[in-house]
Structure 1
Amino acid sequence: MSLFFGPAVNGIGVIAAGILGSTAKKLIPERMGETLLKVMGLATIYIGFSGALKGEHIMITLASLALGTVIGEFLDLEKRINQLGDWLQRRFQPKDSNVSIAEGFVNCSLLICVGAMAIVGAMESGLTGTHSTLLAKSFIDTVAAFIMASTMGIGVALSGVLVMLYEGLMALMAQFIAPLLTEIVINEITCAGSIIIVGVGLNLLKVTNIRIMNTVPGIFLPILFCMFL
């Protein structure tokens, strides 16, 4: 179906870049890999701050992130995605490898799935059958996945499957959610998602150890809050 074209391109791009990047990892000295990962963390923080400035209603952002974190902690989403990552590690990691598949899978999944472009782009695919937003996002994600895979290994490639499922689900839900996505709502989703992306960057730099996945429900709560404001 045409509505899945954008999610498929995005996911396949991440898988391909992850495979190529993990192959290139063997050619990259450990010292250079560590520096590349830190640069990726800095770039992620910059992307997060850039998007966070689009928010106009700080109380909606704070309320969304606070309530979203309560929901995420209650459901313990971080534990669940780490369990999935651990299963992938047991299933796919070679015995002679010390690279954490789970770490690459979780970090890349969060970086690519968290953010307004994933939601709005998937909505565009589901409603109009056009995929310009997701195709543009695919280019960005492919570059990011290659860099991450060159330092974090094949787990990054596996996150491409989650990207396809997540964006495909958003495309299917488009008919129900799209009428609620006003300009204000999109700006607040962008702001909340971008703040979470800053957290991803800080975790990549090992500055913090935030349970990022437990904050992700906060991305969707501006839809609810803006309905009553």
Structure 2
Amino acid sequence: MIGTIFNTCMILGGSIMGSLFKKGMKEKYHEILMQALGLAVVALGLNTVVKHMPHSRYPVLFILSLAVGSVIGSFLDLDSRFDSLVSKHSNGQAVQGISTGILLFCIGTLSILGPVNAALNHDYTYLFTNGMLDGVTSTVLASGYGICIAACAPVLFCWQGSIYLLAKLCATAISTTLLTELSIVGGILILASGINILGLKKISIMNLLPSLLIPPIGLLFL
């Protein structure tokens, strides 16, 4: 749980720091921080794919997963739904800020795969990386919405904690093969997230998220 605790503390720290900025973070600092973190996420995604690809028993499963998952995500229009939820005006500024923060912090590849990787492999790389990203994001959000963004921290803790405990309970049912195939797909999505952060290409990550569900389903029939 150390990774989740770190992630939670980064949101709290970023919220406090951001609320102290009267005019928000200067654009040049925000830009260079996001570039640095974007490069880190790209490197992490590439490393994950390269590390697990040679051990894959079904080399085409990740292609099938991305294809089927993207079709499902596009059919459900997850990306547009997510954007509308983030941009939707609520009854109060604080409520809008908190809802935006929860969606940004909790719905993401690193935030979902991080607790799983920590529970099964004692590897906290995803969670530490996600914590750094959330630290910057919470600072920016808090500079606009105020200290209320800190309320997202306990929500994230419960979210990632639940995934962590579920992964622990189901550890015996999660095979090495499944973890390998899931890691390949997850690595590609992490790489896509890094590309988005760097602004190189707009990739609909939300529409690709269902791809993570395909490996466990596919392995039932293989």
TM-score grouping bracket, smaller chain normalisation: 0.7 to 0.9
Are the structure 2 counterparts of residues 120 and 144 from structure 1 closer, same or farther at C-alpha, using a change threshold of 3 Å?
Answer: same
Residues 160-187 of structure 1: per-residue CA shift (max 9 Å, x gap): 4563454344356448854441111111
Once the two structures are TM-superposed, the CA of residue 216 in structure 1 deviates from its matched residue by 0.7
2:201 counterpart of 1:208: yes
Is it true that 1:112 corresponds to 2:105 in the alignment?
A: no
The letter for the 1-side match of 2:47 is: S
CA RMSD of aligned residues (A): 3.7
Distance 1:158 1:87 in 2: 19
Q: Which moved more, 1:78-87 or 1:161-170?
A: 161-170
Measured in 2, the distance between the counterparts of 1:29 and 1:17 equals 18
Judged with a 3 Å threshold, the aligned counterparts in structure 2 of structure 1 residues 43 and 29 are, in CA distance, closer, same or farther, namely same
3-state secondary structure, aligned to 2:218? helix
Whether the 8 Å contact between 1:68 and 1:218 is mirrored in structure 2 is yes
> Structure 1 stretch 81-90 or stretch 187-196: which is displaced more?
81-90
In the other structure, the counterpart of 1:145 is 134
> In 2, distance between residues paired with 1:178 and 1:201?
29
Q: Which residue does 2:64 correspond to in 1?
A: 63
Query: C-alpha offsets along residues 7-56 of structure 1, whole Å, 9 cap, x if unaligned?
Result: 96366334314314534766853223212111111111111111112132
Please give the secondary structure, in 1, of the residue aligned with 2:60: helix
The farther-off stretch of 6-15 and 212-221 is: 6-15
Percent identical: 22
**Structure 1 pair 69/216, CA: closer, same or farther in 2 (3 Å)?**
same
Q: Which amino acid aligns with 2:18?
A: S
Mark the runs of 5 or more structure 2 residues left unpaired by the alignment: none
Cα separation, 2, equivalents of 1:149 and 1:103: 7
Q: Determine the C-alpha separation between the residues in 1 that align with 2:79 and 2:175.
A: 30
Task: Answer yes or no: is 1:9 the counterpart of 2:32.
Answer: no
Matches within 5 A, 1:68-83: 68-83=69-84
Give the letter for the 2:131 counterpart.
T
| CA distance in structure 2 between the aligned counterparts of 1:178 and 1:84, rounded to whole angstroms | 34
Q: Following the alignment from structure 1 to structure 2, what is the Cα–Cα distance between the partners of residues 161 and 90?
A: 22
2:14 counterpart letter in structure 1: G
Output the amino acid matched with 1:118.
P
| Counterpart residue number, 2:15 | 19
Counterpart residue number, 1:40: 37
Cα distance, 1:106–1:204 mapped onto 2, change above 3 Å? same
Query: How many residues in Structure 1 have an aligned counterpart in Structure 2?
Result: 211
User: Structure 1 stretch 64-73 or stretch 16-25: which is displaced more?
Assistant: 16-25
Q: How does 1:153-164 map to 2 (within 5 A)?
A: 153-154=141-142, 160=153, 163-164=156-157
Q: Does 1:184 align with 2:172?
A: no
Q: SS of 1:208's equivalent?
A: coil
CA–CA separation in structure 1 for the residues paired with 2:164 and 2:30: 36
Q: Is the 8 A contact 1:19 1:157 kept in 2?
A: yes
In the alignment, the residues of structure 2 paired with residue 175 and residue 108 of structure 1 have an alpha-carbon distance, to the nearest angstrom, of 19
